[in-house]
Structure 1
Amino acid sequence: MPALKSSFKSIIIASLCVALAISCSRKKDKFINRNFHAVTAEYNTLFNGYNALEEGREALNNTYFDNYWDILPVERLEVFDDVILPGQSKNENFSRAEEKAIKAIQKHGMNIEGKERNPQIDEAYILLGKSRYFDQRFIPALESFNYILYKYPASDKINQAKVWREKCNIRLDNNELAIKNLKRLLKQESLERQDLADATSILAQAYINTKALDSAITQLDIAATATKSNDERGRFRFIQGQLYNALGVKDSANMAFDKVIVLNRKTPRIYMIVAQLEKINNFNVDSGNKFEVATLLRELEENRENRPFLDKIYHQTAEFYLKNESDALAINFYNKSLRTNSRDKYLKARNYERLGDMYFEASVYADAGAYYDSTMTNLVLNSKPYRVIKKKRDNLKDVIYYEAIAKTNDSILNLVNLSEADRLAYFNEHVEALKVKAQIEKEQAEVDENNSGLATVNNQIGALSNAGRGVPNQATLFYFYNPTTVAYGKNEFVKVWGDRTNDDDWRWSNKISTGVAGNISNSNDLDAISEEEKFNPQFYLSKIPSNQKTIDSISNERNYAYYQLGLIYKEKFQEYDMAKNRFQDLLKSNPEERLKLPSKYNLYKIYELLGDHDEAQIAKADIIASYPDSRYAAILQHPELGASEDENSAENLYEKLYELHENQQYAQVITNSDTYITQFDGEPIVPKFELLKAMATGRLFGYEAYKKAINRVAVTYANTSEGKQAQHIEDQVLPQIAKKEFVVSSDSILGHYKVVFKFKDKTPKEVNGFKSTLDTVLKNVKYYKLKSSKDIYSPNTTFIVVHGLHSKRVADTFDQIISEKDKEKIKIPYFAISSENYQIIQIHKNLEAYSNLYNN
């Protein structure tokens, strides 16, 4: 009997295995086969695939950062510019979803006689397309959705496939095609609920991309009503508000934002917060209730649930107070927004820019420049906003530089003019302040050291407790995660190095910001000061300059800074009061003679611009009486000469001088430059004349003279664009042309060669006559395209150079390629030279060395 039961069980198991094997066949269109593969695909392969897809989408949403400064995209998907190659993937979840979709198609597809019998395969293709779409492989995704439309026209997923196909088209920038197809879909099909929401929302995105904002608003309204997801509803309504704002319809925008606010906790809180802030941004300060807005902002700030959004709340609060001309409150809230360490770099840039603009309008240019620097660090390099801020910052560069010089030198000169008793009193007070500061730092360091020890113990305990849960404790991993040790490190840095500016070469002593005492000793390495010297007033007293030559140099530097500041405030910023103060301060300080007249003339012009006609007449009379032969006096006495002044202006004279330089009249350029430098002494055009003179000097007298002249421009006019250009030449160009060794030429090596005719102490008429004859001869030369040029070598030597020869042998025997009758016309001796060696003799003026080396 047991044997019979065992045999029966075996038969049953065998039958089941046979039935299972038969049902697994994908080639038989049987009920059991169809349902087996459909159920297996749906509840196994596709189930796992969709789980992987959702995990991938959740990961994308967690890492996606919305830019609320621009109109939000309908779909939260950041598209990267990286090219995705076959076999590559940005997210392993989408790769796994794609693998499951392919497996379902390959293992469970039942394509019998050209027709798919498994009703789940269209779902597999939908999964395949979605996984590729979110993996940003839009063309393969488009192919998947097109395959459904082609192969499964009766599928219940057909409308979904059509919508996703148009999403792919939009990502591929085929917006017009997407609009056409979606409008046809909405017209031909009666879509409901989520299908309708998906179709209209993506149609709205296509309209936004094509700048048809009013059409986008209509579609988003339909989508927000139809969608089952409150997350989507909040986003769609918020985008509606943004679009109304973009169209300038603020009332409708506020109504859309109100619909977001009503959703409250049903939608992500960020939408509600930003909707509130957008409504506040639309507030009319002239007609609205300011108290209500201020109260709402305070409530948003105090609500504990809003802590993650304080950066935006503080920024909008600052904007509100700025519109109400409450500058102090605005500055306070901009800084509070910055202290939240927001992830929103553009928000940080806006905060810094606003602060920079406010300090700029208050004429505190050094602080404005610092804020603009911080603005640029939070903007995309070379983007349009970056370039706008950079232009503002560059305009401040000179004023910040000269204000620093004026402030520093004024401080030193004030100390120079104090009596011995007053100096001692000043530095006694300074040393006492240093002692108090040092004592506070010492006490703080002791507290921090004790706290750091306690923090270390706590961190170790925390690390042990977290270790059991597999959670790493950041404080034990890295120094900068511990705020106590960071504070201690900052104090130690200040104790060792002092208050340093955040820029290059910070270790140099002139980077220390220690007030007047620091300015006095900038010439020394303050890092080496002992504690005894640091707290000894006599040390600082010994650093006050006493040599009259040094004091005069400091005074002259300060005066030149005053003059430049006066020009900058007048010409660049139209800050006429500040310009007037600088010129007046300059004239009170007994400046060099070269600065007096242009300063007085600029003051006269400023008085006229400010409407101070009495002051203008006094300044005019002073210029005419004190400088009767000057061009300024001539203009003031004869205003009709003002029209001719344009012709003889510094700019026009420079243009004419530059033309002379282009025509190789270097000696005249040097002579005229000296005249104009004296004539326009103290004016911004002078560095241009100096640089042009240096260039002409190099062309006429060679490398060493050029090097000396360029160095002078770089040092004397260091903060001008010409001085920086000269410094670039000195650092980058001069080393490249310093080589004066000649290149050995070979008859067998092809290259560029020249034939040179030398004229010494000849008149321009003789040289030009020969060149004209030579040009006629060169036209008759066969097989070669030759041309000539006239090059100045030295004040009394000119070269006529033949170009277009590619062989040393041909250059050496130049006369042999000329016809016999033409040889009679050019009997002047010549020499052949490679282009490299010709450049060397022109740069270093060493023709004699070349002649001795190659023409013995």
Structure 2
Amino acid sequence: MRLSSCFRNLVCLSGLGWVAACTQHSTAPANVAFHNITARYNALLQAKEKLEEARATLFRDRKDNYGALLPVVVPVDSNAALAVSTELAAVIKKASLVAERHQNAIYVDDAYLLIGQARLEQGDFRNAVETFKYVNTNYPDENSRSAALIGLMRAYVEQREYGTALRVADVVRTLPLSKEETREYYLTKAYLHQQRKEYAIAAAILEETLPLMKKGEQRARVYYALGQLYELTNKPQKALAQYSKVQKNRPGYDLSFYAKLNSLLNQPGQDPNVSFSRMLKDRKNDDLKDRIYYAMGSYEERRGNIKQAIPYYKTAAQFAKATRDQLPAIYLRIAELSYNPLQDYESAQAYYDSTVSSQPKNMPDLSRIIEKKKVLDEFVRHLRTIRTEDSLQHLAGMNPTELDKYLAKVVSDKRKKEEDARRKAEEAAARARQEQLLAQNGVATENTASAWYFYNPSSVQRGSQEFREKWGPRKLEDNWRRSTKDMSLSSGDAPMTAVQGNKTVAGQAAGTGAAPADPEIQDLKKTIPFGQQALEVSRKKQETAYFELGKLYKLGLSEPAKSKETFEKLLALFPNTSYEPETLYLLYLLAEGTGQQAEYKNRLAQKFPDSYFVRMINRSSLTPLTSGAEAEAQNLYADAYGAYTRSEYANALVKVEQGLQKYAGNALEDKFALLHVMLVAKTQNAEAYRKALGDFLRNYPNSTLTGMAKDMQSAAKGK
């Protein structure tokens, strides 16, 4: 096959006298010329065409989020590259032929460059980096070196190795670059600084880049990104100028639409609401209403009207549910505003949860969002515990007759709400079926859309989806909303207590004067803490929730004033709380720099002189123990433990308390503390012992003795 191929080429080139052209290792001029022409106009030409075709497809099919900061260049996406995997594989295959069959050609470096660029588009960064490095090392004097280093720089940016990318950029800056290479270098460097959040530098680089770009959507896209960068650097007039230039560069409809929206937001002294209203009425924008409402929310937010902005964002979320591509960004905006400045932590938790549940792709700071969500999940759980237990305790104190009336109303309201939801879902399904029937009969439904809302397929889909999210998959049947259907339904004129037509009918059982109990009311009563023991359990839940809430305000939400308020409320509502020592210590820390700090310190020292937290406060005034003092501490512990083993508990307790006071902060402190717990077991009751174990585990979480203490705690449970 190779001989026949060579023969055909020789025939074509016989006029030049290239007789020995099949030898790729020869340096003879005829051989080199043959391989140069074959490599350039056969393999390389086809590889370049395939690469350009793949890049054009990737740019055409990109998924830009114009509501967020637009990347200067389209980021590499290995999943998107699957659509052009055939073309990219062909690039690598064709370019590899040059290295395999035309080693004496001057285009081998160009072949390796194409291989590296194809691997970069595939998202195969490791092999792309190795290929670009190979070109840089082995072809230092060739033109392809600068392009390889630009590709290497881009690969490092995609891998977030920004420091390495900057070092490569410094090398590229010293090389002679063509106009095309200069453009690619500037775009890549602007992208690098954009990713590093150095927006002013990125904007300055793009100003130099745009004159090097041809008119078209790629240039329009860069103008849009530059406008956003100027917004972020608080230069609205410059941003407005860039958005106006977008329209002059043949942008796609979405890009043009967003540029208009952002122009409205940056026009000084003008209220854009009239323009927003016109855009909402334009039927071409029916699929973009979520973006318009988001812009309206953004406009109110920029004016400082946060409470007016959130309803617009929520409306945007409702319209975005049909496509879901903008949902994570909308949910996140509501969550961030609810968190700060509104400090509505329950709403913030709900929307952070929705943000994460909507499976955002490539969302920056996703790990931070997830961490904040975890803190708020715990916060809301404790807050709801306090409210729930407070309500249940109130119900427990109600008159039985009034309680029954109240619970009956709760159940009735719940059933009415469920029935309304079921009816709306059935209406939506019926309208969807009617629309489908009309469509099958060739009847257009566009003109009736305003009269019958659910003729809109996207509205029907949205309604069905919301129903499934709330109720799950449900079969259409009587009492479909009930999780259990064992309630007997009577017929005829017999007295009964049942749900007929979703109305509670209270009657008397046949032959008796009492009405049968409603199962839902009985289930509710089971949650109410009747009796002293159940009430104590309920109050203990509240006590723990207040304590954890105070800690979260301090450590998780950075709200010291609310933390102090919550801790003070805990001490007021539960004067004998087991959390009092730690609560006083945390209040002591919160009062740093105020006159109250000494008050909390004195209360803690007077009421709990032997507590770990008193020693924590006193540690700051302690000086490191000398070697002699260390030996004294060891001897004192040995004496205390010896007294314990001889059952001299009073003597051992004196020595332990002396050690805890005198040698606070010493390496033996946790041993003295655990020995104190063991002495409590010998001298006090089981409850005091269990409490002492819990205090030890809470006060010394990093001690090597926690394993032993946990074993002791497990053994002490229930005994």
Q: TM-score range by the shorter chain?
A: 0.5 to 0.7
Among residues 347, 350, 353, which one is paired with 2:329 in the alignment? 347
3-state SS, counterpart of residue 325 of structure 2 = coil
Q: Which residue of the partner structure matches residue 655 of structure 2?
A: none
Among residues 167, 184, 189, which one is paired with 2:150 in the alignment? 167
Among residues 55, 58, 61, which one is paired with 1:57 in the alignment? 55
1:263 equivalent to 2:248? Answer: yes
Contact (CA 8 Å) 1:697, 1:705: kept in 2 or not? no
Among residues 641, 647, 670, which one is paired with 2:618 in the alignment? 647
Q: Would the alpha carbon gap of residues 92 and 551 (structure 1) be closer, same or farther in structure 2, given more than 3 Å must change? A: same
Q: Would the alpha carbon gap of residues 104 and 395 (structure 1) be closer, same or farther in structure 2, given more than 3 Å must change? A: closer
CA displacement, residues 324-369 of structure 1 (integer Å, 9 cap, x when unaligned):
34333322222233331443576246325325415xx555433333
Q: Would the alpha carbon gap of residues 632 and 294 (structure 1) be closer, same or farther in structure 2, given more than 3 Å must change? A: same
Q: Which residue of the partner structure matches residue 138 of structure 1?
A: 128
Contact (CA 8 Å) 1:89, 1:95: kept in 2 or not? no
Contact (CA 8 Å) 1:349, 1:376: kept in 2 or not? no
Among residues 384, 391, 394, which one is paired with 1:411 in the alignment? 391
Q: Which residue of the partner structure matches residue 516 of structure 1?
A: none
Q: Which residue of the partner structure matches residue 216 of structure 2?
A: 230
In 2, Cα distance between equivalents of 1:451 and 1:244: 48
In 2, Cα distance between equivalents of 1:697 and 1:198: 58
Structure 1 unmatched ranges of 5 or more: 1-16, 463-479, 500-530, 624-629, 637-641, 714-856
Contact (CA 8 Å) 1:562, 1:583: kept in 2 or not? no
Superposed, 1:638-787 pairs within 5 Å as 646-647=617-618, 656=664, 659-660=667-668, 662-663=670-671, 666-671=674-679, 687-689=694-696, 691=698, 705-709=712-716
In 1, Cα distance between equivalents of 2:116 and 2:226: 29
In 1, Cα distance between equivalents of 2:78 and 2:541: 53
Larger CA deviation: 420-429 vs 244-253: 244-253
CA displacement, residues 39-65 of structure 1 (integer Å, 9 cap, x when unaligned):
999998777655533442233224544
Contact (CA 8 Å) 1:56, 1:94: kept in 2 or not? yes
Q: Which residue of the partner structure matches residue 92 of structure 1?
A: 86
Superposed, 1:447-458 pairs within 5 Å as 447=427
In 2, Cα distance between equivalents of 1:607 and 1:73: 43
In 2, Cα distance between equivalents of 1:606 and 1:211: 36
1:365 equivalent to 2:319? Answer: no
Q: Which residue of the partner structure matches residue 381 of structure 2?
A: 401
- C-alpha deviation, 1:70, in angstroms: 7.8
Contact (CA 8 Å) 2:117, 2:151: kept in 1 or not? no
CA displacement, residues 787-815 of structure 1 (integer Å, 9 cap, x when unaligned):
xxxxxxxxxxxxxxxxxxxxxxxxxxxxx
Superposed, 1:379-528 pairs within 5 Å as 385-390=365-370, 392-393=372-373, 395-396=375-376, 399-437=379-417, 439-440=419-420, 443-444=423-424, 447=427, 484=464, 487=467, 490-491=470-471
Q: Would the alpha carbon gap of residues 40 and 483 (structure 1) be closer, same or farther in structure 2, given more than 3 Å must change? A: farther
- C-alpha deviation, 1:323, in angstroms: 3.7
Letter of the 2:311 counterpart:
N
In 2, Cα distance between equivalents of 1:381 and 1:198: 26
In 1, Cα distance between equivalents of 2:205 and 2:424: 62
In 1, Cα distance between equivalents of 2:702 and 2:582: 30
Letter of the 1:237 counterpart:
Y
In 2, Cα distance between equivalents of 1:128 and 1:597: 68
3-state SS, counterpart of residue 292 of structure 1 = coil
Contact (CA 8 Å) 1:322, 1:330: kept in 2 or not? yes
In 2, Cα distance between equivalents of 1:436 and 1:701: 56
Contact (CA 8 Å) 1:559, 1:586: kept in 2 or not? no
CA displacement, residues 263-291 of structure 1 (integer Å, 9 cap, x when unaligned):
26x123444444455566767xxxx52x5
Q: Of the two, which has the highest radius of gyration?
A: 1
* TM-score normalized with structure 2 length: 0.59
1:185 equivalent to 2:193? Answer: no
In 1, Cα distance between equivalents of 2:281 and 2:618: 67
Contact (CA 8 Å) 2:290, 2:317: kept in 1 or not? yes
Contact (CA 8 Å) 2:139, 2:145: kept in 1 or not? yes
Contact (CA 8 Å) 1:241, 1:253: kept in 2 or not? yes
In 1, Cα distance between equivalents of 2:525 and 2:45: 84
Contact (CA 8 Å) 1:569, 1:578: kept in 2 or not? yes
* TM-score normalized with structure 1 length: 0.51
- C-alpha deviation, 1:230, in angstroms: 1.6
Q: Would the alpha carbon gap of residues 659 and 460 (structure 1) be closer, same or farther in structure 2, given more than 3 Å must change? A: farther
CA displacement, residues 557-589 of structure 1 (integer Å, 9 cap, x when unaligned):
4456456656766897657579658856985x7
Structure 2 unmatched ranges of 5 or more: 22-29, 157-164, 443-459, 484-514, 608-612, 623-659
In 2, Cα distance between equivalents of 1:535 and 1:99: 72
CA displacement, residues 214-273 of structure 1 (integer Å, 9 cap, x when unaligned):
77656533442243332232133334345545655554344333322x426x12344444
3-state SS, counterpart of residue 94 of structure 1 = helix
Letter of the 2:210 counterpart:
A
- C-alpha deviation, 1:93, in angstroms: 0.8
3-state SS, counterpart of residue 57 of structure 1 = helix
Letter of the 2:128 counterpart:
F
Contact (CA 8 Å) 2:382, 2:546: kept in 1 or not? yes
Letter of the 2:150 counterpart:
K
In 2, Cα distance between equivalents of 1:548 and 1:325: 51
In 2, Cα distance between equivalents of 1:544 and 1:333: 40
Q: Would the alpha carbon gap of residues 557 and 543 (structure 1) be closer, same or farther in structure 2, given more than 3 Å must change? A: closer
Q: Which residue of the partner structure matches residue 240 of structure 1?
A: 226
What is the identity percentage for the equivalent residue pairs of Structure 1 and Structure 2?
17
In 2, Cα distance between equivalents of 1:163 and 1:373: 47
Point out which structure has higher relative CO (alpha carbons under 8 A, 6+ apart). Answer: 2
Q: Which residue of the partner structure matches residue 29 of structure 1?
A: 16
Letter of the 1:357 counterpart:
Y
In 1, Cα distance between equivalents of 2:231 and 2:685: 57
3-state SS, counterpart of residue 76 of structure 2 = coil
Q: Would the alpha carbon gap of residues 534 and 134 (structure 1) be closer, same or farther in structure 2, given more than 3 Å must change? A: same
Letter of the 1:29 counterpart:
L
Superposed, 1:163-312 pairs within 5 Å as 164-171=147-154, 173=156, 176=167, 180-181=171-172, 184-185=175-176, 197=183, 201=187, 217=203, 220-244=206-230, 249-260=235-246, 262-263=247-248, 266-276=250-260, 288-289=268-269, 291-299=270-278, 301-306=280-285, 310-312=289-291
- C-alpha deviation, 1:672, in angstroms: 7.6
CA displacement, residues 746-768 of structure 1 (integer Å, 9 cap, x when unaligned):
xxxxxxxxxxxxxxxxxxxxxxx
1:554 equivalent to 2:552? Answer: no
Contact (CA 8 Å) 2:700, 2:706: kept in 1 or not? no
In 1, Cα distance between equivalents of 2:208 and 2:710: 77
Contact (CA 8 Å) 2:697, 2:709: kept in 1 or not? no
Question: CA RMSD for the aligned pairs?
Answer: 6.5
Contact (CA 8 Å) 1:315, 1:333: kept in 2 or not? yes
Superposed, 1:545-584 pairs within 5 Å as 545-558=529-542, 561-562=545-546, 574=559, 576=561
CA displacement, residues 172-198 of structure 1 (integer Å, 9 cap, x when unaligned):
556555555566435xx7x5xx67755
In 1, Cα distance between equivalents of 2:216 and 2:235: 25
Q: Which residue of the partner structure matches residue 322 of structure 1?
A: 301
Q: Would the alpha carbon gap of residues 594 and 146 (structure 1) be closer, same or farther in structure 2, given more than 3 Å must change? A: closer
Q: Would the alpha carbon gap of residues 669 and 69 (structure 1) be closer, same or farther in structure 2, given more than 3 Å must change? A: farther
3-state SS, counterpart of residue 214 of structure 2 = coil
